[in-house]
Amino acid sequence: MKRKILILISLQLSIYSLFGQNITGKWYEIQDPNADFVINIDKINNAYSGIYNWEFRDGPSTINAPIESVILKNDSLLIAINFSNFLLNFKLKKEDSTEIYKGFFYLGSRQLRPVTLSRSPIARDMTIAPIVEKTYTRQDTLRGKITDERAWWNLMHYDLDFELDIENKFIKGSNTITYTVLESKNDMQIDLQEPLKITKVVQAGESLSFTREGNAYFIQLKENQIVGSSKKIEVYYEGNPKAAPRAPWDGGFSWEKDANGKPFVFTSCQGDGASLWWPCKDHMYDEPDNGMTISVTVPQEFTAVANGKLTATKKNKNGTTTYQWTVVNPINNYGVAINVADYVHFSDPYNGMKGTLACDYYVLPENLEKAKVQFKQAHLMLEAFEYWFGPYPFYEDSYKLVDGVAMEHQSSVGYSGYINGYQGRDMSGSGWGLKFDYMLIHESGHEWFANNITYKDMADMWVHEAFTTYSEALYVEYHYGKKAGEEYIKGISHIIENKIPIIGDYDVNDKDYTQDIYQKGATILHTLRQVINDDEKWRAILTGLNTEFYHKTVTSAEVENYISQQSGLNLKTFFDQYLRTVQIPTLEYYFEDNKFAYRWINVVPGFNMPIKVKLDNKEQWINPTTNWTHEYTKETKNELIIDSNFYVASFKNMKNK
């Protein structure tokens, strides 16, 4: 009996040593070289709590922040923290016979980075790294420049036809490219990225020779290319396309499973380019004037969803089905997408500015009931954005939401989440961010700014993201009032980094863009609205942009000039300041007896933005320049408050008495 008791006690002690470990005290993250993450866990009344410090070498830091929750379950440690309005979940597991926990942290269901917690800290160099000048390769130029081999022909139509072998992650097919000749030349550039390869190119029944330089193929045409004539080439290709390691930030195919273990496949390729998975003229400046046809062959138990409207379905004898989707409007390359799954389909037409808009939804079976509720916001979105921006730009091609990756695929918007806010969090901290589904509203807003109005060069990506991020505030304003919209935009302005200018480098497909194209870009537009100081004119400018540049590719300069012309203001220094520098305009001022003196500092030469202020609680406009203005008042002034809807700073000069 004593022997059994000793064995039982020994076993209990062993279990305690394995699962009953003491986790209180300090833990140090030892894997990330660029961030110092320390948590301090307490245990009070059998409940864990604590604080954390997260200091970044090149980003905002958080000190002495409370931990949301700590759960110890067997050898697993689950920690939740609120970081910059994002709920991050650490899912860690104890290493055998060590005081080390390893795992990952997640934003919602998305795995972000690996994490290792230890009792012992490591030495880190937390010196702020200098901004390194970007460098580019020959491939960057071939991808980002309008090369001679691209410039001589105008893209008219794509006819993309391929079969997807899901089991082997293999794609094989062809793209028939219709074009018109602008100059009589015979060398044509078509892009396709490794590991895919072009196997054959045919024109008028004759095979053509070609060479390859990285991701660019140069095709030697035999026919005379007569200016004004219409021509076609057929490009055949195959291979195992690149998998997206972290969609949508990394492009490629995502090969996932639904809740029933069935394949769930989708694409994303912004920045990396559509040539990740199909051969094309992979530059944003030229879109097919007459749209494209996308024919996808998949195993018959699945549905393939692409852009435009479904115009044909053919069941093949080999157990596959071919889905033909037709896009009648111009479409940008990265807006082309394919989604394959055991989809359930339902519709909810919208009565909009141009009549009935077909709204079709393709969702995984496990998401059907959630989608019927969440997707009601699509009509609210269309109502708000047609008011602010004009008619939905693709009535002929329909509007779709498709389970996959949240991405602005034209007329076939990728979606994920089924929760309000940005994966359940309000990025603005104002409360208004939880009134709408960020993924649905933001990605759909791109139908106007990205798909209707498209940048010619990725350096001008702010045209897509600034206006679309601003559309979130306009959505809030339309449904909840102007004050609510202002509170939302002010809230997201706290995310601005101001590390590098918003405008990138041209002719190189500059993918290393700043995140400021989102929140800072939106804040700039909100500031510009204040400067124009006429809400009807501002709305007319937004709708006018979508009319003037309807189904067109644009430069930042064209957008800037249009707004200047329509506003009646010279906005050159405004845009140069906010888009091409990281300096925040600063109003320097002082009071001296009955004199109020002010000027702009930290600005480009000639910056002269007017601004609304309160002087001793009395509202007025002032017109600072880079020179001192001395304004004399009847009464002594003591307090200046700048309207918080302007993205500026202020500095009270020490001369002030």
pLDDT number for residue 111: 81
Strands, E, within 306-435: which ranges? 309-315, 320-327, 339-341, 344-347, 350-352, 355-357, 359-363, 399-403, 413-415
List, by residue range, all CATH 2.60.40.1730 domains of the chain: 137-342
List, by residue range, all CATH 2.40.128.120 domains of the chain: 16-118
Residue with tokens 């002034």: 637
Q: Are 370 and 418 in contact (CB under 8 A)?
A: yes
| Residue 374 CB neighbour total at 10 angstroms | 21
Per-residue pLDDT, averaged over 390-395, amounts to: 98
- For 61-65, 349-353, 522-526, 617-621, which range has the lowest pLDDT when averaged over its residues? 61-65
Per-residue pLDDT, averaged over 334-358, amounts to: 98
Distance of CA 504 to the CA centre of its chain: 16
Q: Are 264 and 258 in contact (CB under 8 A)?
A: yes
pLDDT number for residue 20: 54
Query: 210-224: per-residue pLDDT in tens?
Result: 999 999 999 999 998
Q: Is 516 buried (19+), middle (13-18) or exposed (0-12) by CB count in 10 A?
A: buried
CATH class of residue range 137-342 = mainly beta
Q: Are 175 and 278 in contact (CB under 8 A)?
A: yes
Instruction: Give the type of residue at 193.
Output: Q
pLDDT number for residue 126: 80
Question: What architecture does CATH give domain 586-652?
Answer: Sandwich (2.60)
- Structure pTM? 0.89
* pLDDT level of residue 646 (50, 70, 90 thresholds): very high
Which superfamily is assigned to 16-118 in CATH? Quinohemoprotein amine dehydrogenase alpha subunit, domain 2 (2.40.128.120)
Question: What architecture does CATH give domain 346-581?
Answer: Orthogonal Bundle (1.10)
Average pLDDT, the chain: 93
pLDDT number for residue 656: 57
